[in-house]
């Protein structure tokens, strides 16, 4: 997991420790889900940051933004999430953002195999346009520097206009799963 997501997530709790159930999973178990509880807790489950999940994550957050922003306890559950495209969780960042977030960049080896993979991703109509644009720039750098590391994504700092300064900590959980 990148430092960006670990820095950005204000609270990550294991649901069984709270005695909460993630609820019925949709047909695609990697689709994001959101549940609100009576105690002011919202649980946003993000099982995947794969490129195919950016749109469902964006939609879920957009449809619930007002209620999420007013929720005192937000649990972002990323258990089992193997990663993916960092832009997939962009819609979540304003909900957990409290300070600037440093994002580590990435480099890639300009090998024939990596170049072929980048071309395949760019050619796929399933890839979001933003990812395809990144891929086109990466291909140009790889073609210009074969057999070397090239920059995929620059290091950077994410600064948003608004920060949530008063995120609350979730109540402590006992081993039995009941908040004290």
pLDDT at 168: 60
Mean predicted confidence (pLDDT) in 84-102: 89
Domain ranges, ordered by start, for the chain: 1-102+160-173, 106-153
**Structure confidence at residue 25 as a pLDDT band (50, 70, 90):** very low
Residue with tokens 């300070």: 99
**Structure confidence at residue 3 as a pLDDT band (50, 70, 90):** very low
pLDDT at 16 over 90: no
d(CA 152, CA 132): 12
What's the CATH architecture for 1-102+160-173?
Answer: 2-Layer Sandwich (3.30)
Q: Are 46 and 92 in contact (CB under 8 A)?
A: yes
Mean predicted confidence (pLDDT) in 21-41: 76
């Amino acid at each position: 997991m990148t430092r960006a997501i670990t820095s950005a997530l204000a609270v990550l709790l294991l649901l069984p420790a709270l005695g909460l159930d993630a609820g019925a999973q949709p047909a695609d178990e990697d689709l994001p889900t959101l549940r609100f509880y009576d105690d002011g807790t919202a649980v946003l489950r993000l099982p995947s940051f794969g490129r195919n999940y950016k749109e469902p994550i964006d939609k879920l957050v957009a449809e619930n933004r007002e209620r999420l922003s007013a929720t005192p306890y937000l649990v972002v559950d990323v258990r089992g999430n193997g990663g993916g495209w960092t832009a997939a969780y962009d819609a979540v960042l304003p909900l957990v953002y409290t300070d600037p977030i440093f994002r580590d960049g990435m480099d890639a080896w300009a090998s024939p195999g990596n170049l072929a993979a980048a071309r395949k991703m760019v050619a796929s109509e399933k890839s979001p346009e933003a990812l395809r644009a990144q891929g086109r720039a990466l291909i140009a750098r790889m073609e210009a520097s074969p057999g070397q590391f090239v920059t995929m994504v620059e290091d950077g700092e994410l600064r948003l206009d608004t920060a949530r300064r008063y995120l609350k900590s979730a109540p402590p959980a006992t081993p039995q799963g009941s908040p004290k």
